[in-house]
Amino acid sequence: ELDDAPGSKEYPEVFASAINAVINWRRRFNGNPALWRRLFKPDKVVKELIETAPVIAAVSDLVGAPEYIEEGKEFTIVDLCAGKGFLSMFLSEMLPSERVTRLILVDKAWPRCGSPIETLPHHMNWEHIYGNHTGQHGEVTEYIKDWPIMLVTSKQDLKKGSTRRALKKVIFDKTEGPILILGVHLCGTLSLRAVEMFNDHANVKFLALKPCCLPGIVHVKQEKVFELGRHKFEAAEVCSSGKFRGKKWDGPPRWHLESKFEAWAGHLTQGISPDETEAGLVKSNEQVAVQVNGGFQNRFIFAERPDPTPELWSTIALLGKSEKKVPPKAQKRPDYARDLEAPGSRARDRNAKRYYFQTGVWGARAGLCQ
């Protein structure tokens, strides 16, 4: 299955290491079948690997750079909106443990620190991090001590200003050594928070960001202007209605949003501006085809300071030169507007029709797609 997966040819070492990582997970949780069934869903893990491979490769190049090994630098990695933590779980197995002190998994769905291992229904289960297992001969395995690089959770709602102040106090101000911020699948304005963290804290050396869905249309109704670093842009340029309800998209046809997503990624990149001079800052907005079946959220944003790591940026430079895969569903798009204009006909897409009559906007003809 992995042989034909997007990115497997571009990141063969990452995919090979991922197989070994999953084997290690299985050994770690051997004897705890309930945990393993809850944690390991093959389709989910493969999807996470595909969409995090460019980030894993970049972090591996940075952490393993010879100059940092010689200096004995130890990194702290902050994994924003981590979910169950698959990205950090892969990195814990793949990175040299002597180079990374810990991986902090930030998500609002975690239980609060100090809560019992048995989580409440509305919390994300953290047994794979803080749980333990007693073997046949009475030996106890504490999972937190068994991960090659320690995983710790942090319950935080990044949309709250109080949370950002708390993160400054407990993470950014107290951490010795450089910090790496990783944000994969950051929805809406959460991507703004990731860039702000990079801008605001000088000890954050590296940012890897993969934006997900666009900010909601409510920001347009409020006539909001986003300010990010020294860059400003109007919400109308990047915001959209529609959202997933479960696994079903409720809103305008998603391909209508591609141009706005490209603009969103561009503005996020421009907003990476920690100071007036930006001395020693290197940043890049790259397209990597991890979604190839009609998906378009293929933008990866990287930034590093104060001095670029040659191994890292030589790899990133190759991303823009890799073969671009055209999403099959984007090759031929039905002309819904023509269907609406034809007497007696019905639109073939219910969501598109609803969006048209609510807003008066219809795709390229109304200027939605630039």
- Structure confidence by residue, pLDDT tens digits, 120-130: 677 899 999 99
> pLDDT-derived band of residue 19, with 50, 70 and 90 as boundaries?
very high
Alpha-carbon distance of 20 to 335, in angstroms, equals 47
Q: Whole-prediction pTM value?
A: 0.82
Q: Which residue has the tokens 């793949």?
A: 94
Say yes or no to pLDDT of 155 above 60.
yes
Residues 6 or more apart in contact with residue 178 via CB below 8 angstroms: 73, 75, 76, 203, 204, 205, 206
Alpha-carbon distance of 274 to 245, in angstroms, equals 37
- Of residues 249 and 287, the one with the higher pLDDT is 287
- The answer to whether residues 214 and 187 touch, using CB atoms and an 8 Å cutoff, is no
pLDDT of residue 258: 86
Alpha-carbon distance of 351 to 94, in angstroms, equals 43
Q: How do 179-186 and 132-134 pair as beta strands? A: unpaired
Mean pLDDT of 202-206: 93
- Of residues 125 and 357, the one with the higher pLDDT is 125
- Of residues 25 and 3, the one with the higher pLDDT is 25
pLDDT of residue 320: 58
- The answer to whether residues 340 and 362 touch, using CB atoms and an 8 Å cutoff, is yes
pLDDT of residue 356: 37
pLDDT of residue 193: 94
Tell me: the pLDDT tens digits for 211-220?
988 898 889 9
- The answer to whether residues 7 and 15 touch, using CB atoms and an 8 Å cutoff, is yes
Beta bridge partners of 287: 299
pLDDT of residue 165: 87
pLDDT of residue 351: 46
Say yes or no to pLDDT of 90 above 60.
yes
Distance of CA 340 to the CA centre of its chain: 38
Beta bridge partners of 82: none
Computed from CA positions of residues 297, 56, 279, 173, in that sequence, does the dihedral angle turn out positive or negative?
positive
Alpha-carbon distance of 61 to 67, in angstroms, equals 11
pLDDT of residue 276: 61
Tell whether omega for the bond before 116 is within 30 degrees of 0, i.e. cis.
Answer: no
Question: What is the SS3 string spanning 177-219?
Answer: CCEEEEEEEECCCHHHHHHHHHHHCCCEEEEEEEECCCCECHH
Tell me: the pLDDT tens digits for 37-85?
999 999 999 999 999 999 999 999 999 998 887 777 899 999 999 999 9
pLDDT of residue 324: 37
CA triplet 92, 53, 147: central angle to 5 degrees? 10
Tell me: the pLDDT tens digits for 93-145?
999 999 999 999 999 999 887 666 666 677 899 999 998 888 777 778 899 99
Question: Pick from 272, 283, 178, 209: which is nearest to 55 by CA?
Answer: 209
pLDDT of residue 327: 35
Residues 6 or more apart in contact with residue 31 via CB below 8 angstroms: 133, 135, 136
Torsion-angle region of residue 325: left (phi > 0), alpha (psi -120 to 50) or beta? Answer: beta
Mean model confidence pLDDT for the chain: 81
Q: Which residue has the tokens 């290197």?
A: 282
E strand or H helix that includes residue 19: helix 12-28
SS3 content of the chain, % helix, strand, coil (to 5): 40, 20, 40
Report the 10 Å Cβ neighbour count for 308.
15
pLDDT of residue 314: 87
pLDDT of residue 141: 83
Can you read off the two tokens belonging to residue 176? 């010795």
Alpha-carbon distance of 298 to 167, in angstroms, equals 29
Mean pLDDT of 166-177: 90
